[in-house]
Structure 1
Amino acid sequence: MTATLNGRRIAFLATDGVEQVELTEPWEALENAGAKVELVSPKSDEIQGMNHIDKGDKFRVDQSVAQARAEDYDGLVLPGGVVNPDNLRLDKQAVSFVKAFFDQQKPVGAICHGPWTMVEADVVRGRTLTSFPSVQTDIRNAGGTWVDEEVHVDSGLVTSRKPDDLKSFCSKLVEEFAEGKHSNQTA
């Protein structure tokens, strides 16, 4: 992969319960494309990854969400897992951090249950996206349109359903993050 993201700084917002492969594969794809990636979390030390229902690795947090500013990043990735986004959507600072990327028209990627935090941030209204199927009603109730696709792109918003979709998700993340800001990427 070429270094199409040189000089770009990308935040990954996650906490305990993150689906490990949905954190590590996009992280690696963005790094391989030249991006500087950082883990932002409500926790300040490390988070627990999961391999479905089994504990996986722990990951060092680079920046607490209380100190992180969307202005300092060029894009945002919201990995899934069930517990991770469920906890994030209850954290006001995490929700505000997500909303700020939309306010600033920056590209965002979310996979699996990751869109739950976007629903809480009220940024899916009028947008088309995909997710793990159990999240579709929440997306529709928040004014979004849900589609059952491997990957869906809507003006800088990249979404996928599950770990099986990671190859397509990662490819589209690199593409959309390379394009930079999107005028239709608004809250």
Structure 2
Amino acid sequence: MRIAFLTAPEGVEQVELTDPWQAAVDAGHEPVLVSTEPGKVQAFNHLDKADTFGVDEVVGEASADSFDGLVLPGGVANPDALRSDDKAVAFVKDFLDQGRPVAAICHAPWTLVEADVVRGRVLTSWPSLRTDIRNAGGTWVDEQVKVCDHGPGKLVTSRKPDDLEAFCETYLRVFAQEAA
């Protein structure tokens, strides 16, 4: 499977990018780093700068058609920047409109809210997003991982870095089922 990982140029929570990425590699899949700008993305360990990662494709030139699924890592600044970028929002929406699976962790559901794809869905996130999710017509639950198959495309969500092991196992299982 070819899996897009969408991040802004700065602010992605490093472990929420690297753990799901490594899980994809370990499972024999091809992760692709997509960003709103070419070059590198700056990851963070909470508020401290961490490593940088090379961008493989730019969101304005990438197409959901060329991927089997999409992973949205969190961090506070990352999804806030993505939801302000029309091309990034359209990219995310296109995955779910086409029935392709999407996985989002921590603050990443902010981008899903902006893409208007949470209405009628049940999902989890970092607790501070619960009101945003509810206001967008979704149902927020406090669970380690939530899989929602209401509407086109399955949605896998998780709360925080402590949930990464379950998040990775679940998103890879759901993506494989959808690809089959």
Does residue 81 of the first structure (1) align with residue 75 of the second (2)?
Answer: yes
Task: Give per-residue Cα distances to partners, 1:89-136, cap 9 Å, x unaligned.
Answer: 000000000000001101110000000000000000000000000111
- Runs of 4+ off more than 3 Å: none
Aligned equivalent of 1:118: 112
Pair 1:103-2:101 in alignment:
no
Q: Which amino acid is 1:27 matched to?
A: W
Pairwise CA distance, 1:181: 5.8
Question: Unmatched 5+ residue regions in structure 2?
Answer: none
- Matched residue of 1:124: which SS? coil
TM-score (norm 1): 0.92
Q: For each residue in 1:1-34, what CA deviation from the matched residue of structure 2 results, as whole angstroms up to 9, or x when unmatched?
A: xxxxxxx100000011000000000000011111
Q: Confirm or deny: 8 A CA contact 1:105 1:181 kept in the other structure.
A: no
* 1:46 maps to 2:45: no
CA shift, 1:84, in A, is 0.3
TM-score by length of 2: 0.96
Could you tell me which amino acid in structure 2 is paired with residue 168 of structure 1? A
Alignment match, 1:72: 66
The sequence identity of aligned pairs, in percent, is 62
Report the equivalent of 1:177. 175
RMSD (Å), alpha carbons: 1.0
Aligned length: 175
CA deviation map 1:126-150 (0-9, x unaligned): 0000000011110000000000001
Instruction: Quote the Cα distance in structure 1 between the aligned partners of 2:167 and 2:38.
Output: 28
Q: Secondary structure at the match of 1:110?
A: strand
